[in-house]
Amino acid sequence: MSDILSITAPIYATIAIGYTIVRLGWFRPDDMQIFGRYVLNLALPALLFSSLATKPLSEVIRPDFLLVMLSGALLTQTISFGWFSITAPDPLRRALAVMGSACPNSGFIGYPVMLLVFPDQAGVILALNLLLENVALIPLGLVLLDLASGRGGLSPIRLLWAVLTGLLRRPMVLAMLAGLCVSAMNLSLPEPALRLTGMFGTSAAALALVVIGGSLVGLPLMGNRLLAAQITAAKLLLHPAMVALVATLLTHLGLIDMSHDMRIAAILSAAMPVLSIYPLLAQERGLGGAAAIALLLATSCAFVTLNLLLAWLV
């Protein structure tokens, strides 16, 4: 167990440091937004580009991993939709809960975990997870929220176009596309370029965790605590269970040939707490309190669930 704690303890210690420095007033909550934008718009894109550009395309494109993650997420959301139709029949709350059940925090918590468990593959795993989340899971969640709030007036084609144009403006997506192009063309980057992207990339993990901790200070914790607890359970328990189930079934049927390490990476990726921008997306619909409680609960409880999962899998 001490080996498992050696992986998770530094991660949650860094989160605690982020919480403490904001709580003590050394940094303001607004500073966390600035740091967060640095991570999302510069550090993680540099990391993604260097991780993809320096590996052969065959090591970067993992259809089996994407299939397992997408199928597991959709199965989780389907079960969650049925469950929350009973416990949260209000369409907007149900849509919020369904989104939270299968959208993990791959960038701010997932990557630091993978960096310690699979240091050689952490960048590729991050790229695959972010590709899936940005192209499928987050847009699907936003569509559900818009439909539930009565703002889904766009035609399917215009909605798809809006999603695609929004994706192409994100630095992380642009960095992934650039890295894939370099990998596909089998180009060798000059050493100064590798050092430049490496410097920014190495700053991503620690600062991302500090941002998570600092962002927990001052969250609006007035909301539906029962709903938040159910979202947390769906995210930390149901989602990784469904990914494990899908991986086992597809492997047994001979439809995929996933390595042991990538299978563990998929289950761990699904076991991450809810994405950090969850309360911001919910706040626009008047449900910021429930989402903030879910973020706090999921991030805190993941210390226990991740340790147990790592002890079982690794």
pLDDT attached to residue 269: 96
DSSP bridge partners of 274: 104
Q: Is 286 left (phi over 0), alpha (psi -120 to 50) or beta?
A: left
How far apart (Å, rounded) are the C-alpha atoms in residues 83 and 101?
A: 11
pLDDT attached to residue 222: 66
Whether the CB-CB separation of 94 and 148 falls below 8 Å is answered with yes
29 — pLDDT class (breaks 50, 70, 90): confident
Q: What is the DSSP letter of 187?
A: P
State the first-to-last Cα distance of the chain, in angstroms, to the nearest integer.
Answer: 11
How far apart (Å, rounded) are the C-alpha atoms in residues 22 and 213?
A: 8
Tokens of 138: 């987050």
Considering only residues 165 and 132, tell me which one the structure prediction assigns the higher pLDDT.
132
Residue 295 has pLDDT above 80, yes or no: yes
pLDDT attached to residue 301: 94
164 — pLDDT class (breaks 50, 70, 90): low
Tens digit of pLDDT for each residue in 264-273? 999 999 999 9
Tokens of 259: 């390595």
How far apart (Å, rounded) are the C-alpha atoms in residues 25 and 177?
A: 39
How far apart (Å, rounded) are the C-alpha atoms in residues 239 and 269?
A: 10
How far apart (Å, rounded) are the C-alpha atoms in residues 236 and 105?
A: 11
Q: Which are the contacts of 274, defined by CB distance < 8 A and separation ≥ 6?
A: 100, 103, 104, 105, 231, 232, 235, 294, 295, 298, 299
Domain of residue 128, CATH code: 1.20.1530.20
List the alpha helices (DSSP H) in the chain. 2-23, 29-38, 44-53, 57-60, 63-87, 91-101, 111-117, 122-132, 138-148, 156-167, 171-184, 191-202, 204-215, 225-233, 239-252, 260-270, 278-283, 288-313
153 — pLDDT class (breaks 50, 70, 90): low
Residue 36 has pLDDT above 60, yes or no: yes
What's the alpha-carbon Rg for the chain, to the nearest Å?
19
Residue 149 has pLDDT above 80, yes or no: no
- The pLDDT of 178-185, averaged and rounded, is 90
Number of structural domains in the chain: 1
Tens digit of pLDDT for each residue in 202-246? 888 889 899 888 888 877 666 678 888 999 999 999 999 999 999
| Residue 222 lies in domain | 2-313
- The pLDDT of 33-47, averaged and rounded, is 90
Tens digit of pLDDT for each residue in 67-105? 999 999 999 999 999 999 998 778 888 999 999 999 999
Whether the CB-CB separation of 274 and 109 falls below 8 Å is answered with no
151 — pLDDT class (breaks 50, 70, 90): low
Percent of the chain at pLDDT exceeding 90: 43
Tokens of 6: 């050696």
Q: What is the DSSP letter of 188?
A: P
How far apart (Å, rounded) are the C-alpha atoms in residues 211 and 33?
A: 8
